[in-house]
Amino acid sequence: GAGVSQSPSNKVTEKGKDVELRCDPISGHTALYWYRQRLGQGLEFLIYFQGNSAPDKSGLPSDRFSAERTGESVSTLTIQRTQQEDSAVYLCASSPQLINEQFFGPGTRLTVL
Amino acid sequence: GENVEQHPSTLSVQEGDSAVIKCTYSDSASNYFPWYKQELGKGPQLIIDIRSNVGEKKDQRIAVTLNKTAKHFSLHITETQPEDSAVYFCAAPSTSGTYKYIFGTGTRLKVLA
């Protein structure tokens, strides 16, 4: 079956511009996670959604970052007024339930010039 | 707060030898411990996981051991092959009111032919 998909795969933007990253989770997966991975680094938790519960936004690094999820489907991560330090790969993962395997998408590589 | 430490950061082994990667965690209530393999340009993929009601789990050349008392778990790869070369991440869920995952900083494994 289809896995987690993310778009775009690559995004190059100028400092100060807004960007929107999209994640399509596996159908039926109630949990959805966003991570940031800087070059050669580990996974930095950003936010997760679980069903209709309030999202855990504790990992968002600043108020320039926000994310939404429509029901149990697509999610978008928005970064406003991008900075060079936002350059990273943004990974999305979904899971059929909490405390279970996460299925990762291929990521979106964001480059801020 | 919750923390996951992973060692070593890099590991080189000869083909056919064994590799061991260790992680320690701080949240004693954590009950699920996955290991992910990330190949270049791809999202992480689960290779094995263990729940806190067992001490060891094995899947062909890969095994994970868990010591709940000491709060550490290890990945063991036997008879390593060049295709095992990748970055490996451990993770543990935070259970203090949320279900975000805390990932280790990763181990870059190189299997030398």
Query: In this complex, do B101 and A102 lie within 8 Å of one another by their Cβ atoms?
Result: yes
pLDDT per residue as tens digits for the range A41-73: 889 999 999 888 889 999 999 999 999 998 888
Query: In this complex, do B43 and A104 lie within 8 Å of one another by their Cβ atoms?
Result: yes
- Sheet arrangement for strand A65-69: A5-7, A19-24, A75-79, A65-69
3-class secondary-structure state, position A4: coil
Among A27, A48, A103, CA closest to B36: A103
Instruction: Report chain B residues whose CB lies below 8 A from the CB of A48.
Output: 99-100
- Asked if B72 has any chain A CB less than 8 Å from its own CB, the reply is no
pLDDT per residue as tens digits for the range B22-45: 999 988 888 889 999 999 989 999
pLDDT (0 to 100) of residue A104? 96
Angle (CA) A27 A71 A56, round 5°: 105
- The residue of B10, B36, B42, B100 whose CB has the most chain A CBs within 10 angstroms, and thus the best one to mutate to test that interface, is B100
State both tokens at A110.
Answer: 């964001």
Query: In this complex, do A101 and B34 lie within 8 Å of one another by their Cβ atoms?
Result: yes
pLDDT (0 to 100) of residue A51? 84
pLDDT (0 to 100) of residue B98? 65
Answer whether residue B7 shows pLDDT above 60. Answer: yes
